[in-house]
Structure 1
């Protein structure tokens, strides 16, 4: 195997591990958050009972455990012929943050953040960004199924618009951590007769 081929494989393995770490934000999120009460604070609200919809005018703050969503407006509704409940937060941008089990904060922002409570799917639309520990995924639309742990990031496909992933070196290895010393291997000594 050539040196370049080994180097390329090492880079690919490093990139894959970084992506797995980066994209597992909700997998290590505080487990009890979704079992906490959901508190919505807004300037005003209006309800359309006939259409199962409440509109909160902002600024709007949503708190559930360590989850925080900030938006200019929030619509909470049940789509027709469905048991699914949805929250749609809009803003310039609307923001999402959650404390992870390791104490770090994962954040997201977009023009629109949709959370489908039945499918546990978070969809970021328009200038979507997902951040953890300085690493980031950006695109026009990012969709994450929390239960299935599946992420899809998309661009508009127009012009220079692309999905961009930036992975910080700290996510690969912590250089400030003490170097581990390898155990010494005993040398066989020959005993002379």
Structure 2
């Protein structure tokens, strides 16, 4: 299922900005042999992207981060979209593949933006294409709300 009306692209300029990480503690690897684990109230910012989680495990390749797995109760993500509107999401777990730019949200997922929302147990968001796919695990349901264009100004 694609949520075309609510699928706006995340701010593409954010990906070229530096990533800042603030955490209570870290287990940092100087090479790619093992992931870096951050815990104790993790805050990750990159341009308009703001992620808050209890823990983040970041995998690297060639010194660059390639995957981030965030867990929390819940993980909270906010970002400005290319059209200037805001998107915010919550989930128990967020698995972000930085190379493919695909984000998999699982556990109590709720993604909201001015054009609508999607909620369920598993939502896949392709940041390159704006495609959103949702599915429920264990007979879960996907709930989608698409707002009429004339009511999108109110959020």
Please give the range of the TM-score, normalised by the shorter of the 2 chains.
0.7 to 0.9
Give unpaired runs (5+ residues) of structure 1: 1-15, 177-193
| Counterpart for residue 166 of structure 1 | 145
Name segments (4+ residues, structure 1) moved above 3 Å: 48-51
- 8 Å CA contact 1:129, 1:137 repeated in 2: yes
TM-score normalised to structure 1 length: 0.69
Paired residues, number = 149
How far does the alpha carbon of each residue in 1:54-96 deviate from its partner, in whole angstroms, 9 at most, with x for none? 11012000000000000000100148xxx98110111010011
RMSD (Å), alpha carbons: 2.5
Partners of 2:152 and 2:35 in 1: how far apart? 51
Higher RCO (C-alpha under 8 Å, 6+ residues apart): 2
TM-score (structure 2 length as normaliser): 0.84
The residue aligned with 1:67 is 49
Write the mapping of 1:170-189 to structure 2, written as runs, cut at 5 A: 172-174=149-151
Q: Contact 2:4 / 2:131 at 8 angstroms: preserved in 1?
A: no
How far apart are 1:113 and its partner, in Å? 0.7
Deviation at 1:134, TM superposition (A): 6.8
In the alignment, the residues of structure 1 paired with residue 54 and residue 94 of structure 2 have an alpha-carbon distance, to the nearest angstrom, of 11
